[in-house]
Amino acid sequence: MGANKLKLTELDALGQAAECLRTLAHPHRLRMVQMLLQGDFPVGELAEACGLPSAMASEHLRLMQRCGFLTSEKDGRQVFYRVAEPHLKDILCCIEERFGVGLAAK
């Protein structure tokens, strides 16, 4: 098959994709996305599930929000996050099928 017949994405777009995948490529961020695909959670619960201080969890969440993966909403003093990018479900599904999914020890 000749190169002119291949369906290829522009390199600029692939660069953006790589940047977003680098943002996602962190165990705590993947855990947070895994949770958020199952519901909306406040920062404190996401932090607790990752064994992180809330400030550090907030930074991880902000990075993913900047990439367009998440949105946030304030409710009183709490900030709730939710998934904004529907394709995250497919990415996490691939990860769970390859690396397994089960009940994490608390």
The pLDDT value recorded for residue 101 is 78
pLDDT reading at 63 higher than 90: yes
The pLDDT value recorded for residue 24 is 96
The pLDDT value recorded for residue 103 is 61
| DSSP bridge partners of 75 | 78
What is the secondary structure of 69-94 as a DSSP string?
Answer: SEEEEEETTEEEEEE--TTHHHHHHH
CA atoms within 13 A of residue 16's CA, in its CB half-sphere: 8
Per-residue pLDDT tens digits for 38-53: 999 999 999 999 999 9
Domains and CATH numbers, the chain: 27-99 (1.10.10.10)
pLDDT reading at 31 higher than 70: yes
| DSSP bridge partners of 88 | none
The pLDDT value recorded for residue 104 is 58
pLDDT reading at 21 higher than 60: yes
Nearest to 50 by CA among 61, 38, 39: 61
